[in-house]
Each structure stands twice: as C-alpha cells, then as structure tokens.
C-alpha cells in the first residue's frame, strides 16, 4: 500500500516556485489554474462551434448552464443582472471545475521538485484573488451607478455605525476566501487520511461527498458575489 499512500499524501505548506525575472512565482497554482482554464475554453469551443436552432449534445448542456447562471444573476442582482452574467458565470465555472479537479484529476502522479499539485481552490492564493476580484466588482458596480455617493451607505442607518459598515467590506473577502479554501483543503485532507487508513473502501463515499460539496461551494461563492453586487447597485 506504500505507493497508494504516497500518491494520496497531502503536503501542507510545501510549494513549488518558478524564478522569473528575479521574482518567485507560485508555479503550483499557475499549472493547475491553466489546466482548468484550458479545459473550460476547449469545452466551450467544442460545444459551441456548430450552433443549431434546436440544441443537442454539448450545445444543449452549455445552454442549460447559461440559463442556470442567468437565473442566479437575475435572482441576486435584479433587472441589471444581464451585464454581470459573464462575470458570475466565469466565477462559478472556474470554481466548480477547480473543485472537481481536486477529486477527479490524479494530480499527485505528477512529481514536482517541491510541493505537489492539487485543486487551484485548495490554495489560499487562488481563493483570496477570487474574493478580491469580487470586492472590486461590487465597488465598481456601486461607483458606476451612484458615483461617490455610493460611500454614503457607510453612514446608514446612522453615522454611529460607520466603523462597523467599513469593517463589513473587509470581512466580505475574508469570509469568501477562507470558506472556499477551508472546505476544499479539508476535503482533500480527509480523503488522503482515509485512504491511508482504509484504502479503497471508506474513501469512495467521501470522494462523492467531496464532489457534492465542491459543487455547493462554487454555487455559494457565485451566489454571494451576485448578492454583494446587487446590494451595491440597490443601496444599503
């Protein structure tokens, strides 16, 4: 069982870096993120290269996903949701495929000089970047619609709450990033430990549960991102 144990072991805190122009670049995240992005681009290209009036196959699945994302955006943002569909859709699909890649892609068969490959969302760098993008998006939405009057929301319903309202904008990206990171990393660790203890029996239901949890986490992240954007557009 030693080869199986070695394949499923998770190294926490170990990273593989590229040195580019004197800067250390987190190679693990880039490699797996490029894989996810490439998979999404190729999948969308193949499914939409021969569009039909009556969709079938990949086009039918792609339209179903698009309709799902449109409904999510409309529910959270309202009548101005159309222009935010690309952002929320990209966010949802990237997180969804990233989460599932951790369970379905045998990353650990690829050996690195240091560290190991895994789901992009199992790295705090990825989840923080996604959370900061979302923060930038809802600030952009509010400033675009209301100008600098957007910041008056910090004084509502009373100026006494100014510190708390400001703190809320700092806690949003923190909660978004750590929730996603913690759930994905915990799932990988639990499966790795179970495989080392009870190989090929107990881990299978846990892996299926991990796939379900990964899908739920991607939906939660996209839903909260839409809710924050909708709140910025509608007011406090």
pTM reported for the whole predicted model? 0.85
pLDDT in tens, 36-48: 999 999 988 888 8
Share of residues in the chain with pLDDT > 70 (%): 89
Q: What is the mean pLDDT of residues 133-145?
A: 91
Neighbours of 214 (CB within 10 A): 26
**Average pLDDT over all residues of the chain:** 82
> 58-81, pLDDT tens digit by residue?
788 888 899 999 999 999 998 888
Phi/psi region, residue 14 (left: phi>0; alpha: psi -120 to 50; beta: rest), is: beta
pLDDT at 193 over 80: no
Asked if the model's pLDDT at residue 108 lies above 80, the reply is no
Closest C-alpha among 98, 99, 164, 90 to residue 134: 90
Per-residue pLDDT, 5:
44
CA atoms lying within 13 Å on the CB side of residue 172: 25
177-188 per-position pLDDT tens digit: 999 998 888 877
Q: How confident is the model at residue 8 (pLDDT cuts 50, 70, 90)?
A: very low
pLDDT at 1: 47
């Amino acid at each position: 069982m030693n080869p199986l144990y070695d394949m499923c072991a998770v190294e926490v805190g170990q990273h593989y870096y590229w040195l580019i122009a004197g800067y250390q670049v987190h190679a693990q995240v880039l490699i797996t993120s490029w894989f996810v992005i490439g998979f999404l681009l190729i999948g969308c290209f193949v499914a939409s290269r021969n569009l039909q009036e009556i969709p079938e196959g990949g086009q039918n699945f792609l339209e179903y996903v698009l309709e799902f994302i449109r409904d999510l955006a409309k529910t959270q943002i309202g009548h101005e949701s159309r222009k935010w569909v690309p952002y929320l859709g990209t966010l949802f699909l990237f997180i969804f495929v990233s989460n599932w890649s951790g369970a379905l892609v045998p990353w650990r068969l690829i050996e690195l000089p240091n560290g190991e490959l895994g789901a992009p969302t199992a790295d705090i760098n990825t989840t923080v970047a996604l959370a900061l993008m979302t923060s930038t998006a809802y600030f952009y939405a509010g400033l675009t619609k209301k100008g600098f009057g957007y910041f008056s929301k910090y004084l509502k319903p009373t100026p006494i709450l100014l510190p708390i309202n400001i703190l809320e904008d700092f806690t949003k990206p923190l909660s978004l990033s750590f929730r996603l990171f913690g759930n994905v990393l915990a799932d990988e660790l639990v499966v790795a430990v179970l495989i080392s203890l009870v190989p090929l029996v107990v881990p299978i239901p846990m892996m299926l549960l991990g796939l379900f949890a990964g899908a739920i986490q991607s939906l939660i992240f996209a839903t909260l991102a839409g809710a924050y954007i909708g709140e910025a557009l509608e007011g406090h």
